[in-house]
Amino acid sequence: MKEQGVIFFDIDGTLLNHDKELPSSSKKAIFKLKEAGHIVAIATGRAPFMFEDLRKELGIDTYVSYNGQYVVLNGEVLYTNPLNIPALEELTKVALNNDHPVVFMDHEDMKANVPEHNYINESIETLKIDRFPTHDPLYYKGRDLYQTLLFCPEGTEQQYENGFDAFDFVRWHPVSVDILPKGGSKAIGIKKIVDQLGITSERQYAFGDGLNDIEMLTTVTNSVAMGNAEDKVKAVAKHVTKSVEDDGIVHGLKMVGLL
């Protein structure tokens, strides 16, 4: 057997295609990796409850969720990095005045600060998950939150970026951005896992396609951008594979010598 490696996969646009389906070729490849003794992990901006079915289907119990803010190794929580609640409370007040709703998210659930809004419907529906945020404007009180969704059109997030330096803002949809703790990223979450596992950088791999994958693809030695990734994402990766729709996972694993 080759020396054990650890491979981190983003979900949307990497493991899952545009229709939020897992190509059969990708599923077979992941099981081949596991049979060969490698560790297969997920690194996503999603909440843990948004990909529970996928973890079960693939038999994965190590993951970086919330873009690095909630990290689990072998089914046990390894690292958390919650949001600054007083700053979030202030941001929420500004957002409400702008008719920009927010959704508060912890490791178990998500709650909107307004009863309903078209922006929330439009963006959450694209995830094709079986859960939708219910209304609880005080959900941020007395609990750790690892990410908040701010719903605002492209270009309007600038005022929040300028006014709230406790956070990073990463757009994932034309009307929604992720609010993360300043400096938080998938790369930090991955480092927590690989340090614990003691796996050398030469045996670390990462696949991604989105803007929130840039830090991960920049820092992981064997980085692979999907063919459907944006150009700025491809530019930082060591390798560029085919599109997720065109057996990109299998092709990329062959490129880096794992299949």
**DSSP-derived secondary structure for 150-174:** E---TTTTHHHHHH-TTEEEEEEET
Record the tokens describing residue 166, joined without a space: 């406790």
Q: Is 142 left (phi over 0), alpha (psi -120 to 50) or beta?
A: left
Among residues 10, 106, 168, 213, the one annotated as catalytic is 10
Query: Phi, psi at residue 177, to the nearest 5°?
Result: -130, 150
CA 250 and chain centroid, separation? 21
Distance CA 104, CA 257 (A): 41
Query: Phi, psi at residue 121, to the nearest 5°?
Result: -60, -45
Whether 246 is catalytic is: no
CA 15 and chain centroid, separation? 12
Asked if 139 and 111 touch (Cβ cutoff 8 Å), the reply is: yes
CA 19 and chain centroid, separation? 17
Report the catalytic residues: 10
